[in-house]
Structure 1
Amino acid sequence: MDINCIIVKGTENTTCFMAEKTKVATEYETWSRLDAIVLQWIYGTISNDLLHTILKPNTSASQAWTALENIFQDNQSTRVVYLDSKFVSMRLDHHPNISSYCQAMKMLVMGFIHKNFPMCSCKP
């Protein structure tokens, strides 16, 4: 039994069902309000170009987030090419010391690892 149930002789199940229905409605209202807050935060923090790309009626925060995620994951191959070219063109004489050079190389490698990019083994 739920503590919100009003026990009336002969109508216990009906009364509890109504209390559960009210509880579910209240939880849904709370969820809807929080979803709207998160959705407004997403809309408020992205550029207008991105906003117009993902803006659709009756969209949940999860759907908007997934749409943004898909936009940015579509450029994954471009990002790999960019990081690879930076890695290949990294030169020691562009850094004040070996420590700075190694740190820059490490940051590029971490860019590959952090993004779960595939590592190409096709170069000699």
Structure 2
Amino acid sequence: MNIVLWILQALLALHTVIGAGWKLFNSEQAVPTLAAIPSVVWMGLIPFELLCAAGLVAPVVAASLGWLVPIAAIGIAVEMLVFSGVHLCSGAVDHGPMYYWLGVVAVCALIALGRLFIAPQ
């Protein structure tokens, strides 16, 4: 299980770094249902996501930083849940993006629960 969690952590960290880079070059207007998010908050998500990505892989540098993994995973999950909520409030009919964000939430939950209870670091 430890290997599976490491693979998921690395993939989620990569996903999050790519998302931060995408936010840097695209405004919240690029996803119409997220247009309600203020630009300042949108840009503020970039350092948040980079910190979360670093938290997911921090135990590679020092095993004592393993406590950061569930916190980072929960932080990313909360962000994705907020995106899903904003999407629902927008009245959009196509829920494809929301299903994607909820899939990321599921991966985050697996990582957080796995690192808290199954294979703590």
User: Could you say whether these structures have the same fold, taking a TM-score greater than 0.5 normalized by the shorter chain as the test?
Assistant: no
Larger radius of gyration: 1
- Higher helix proportion: 2
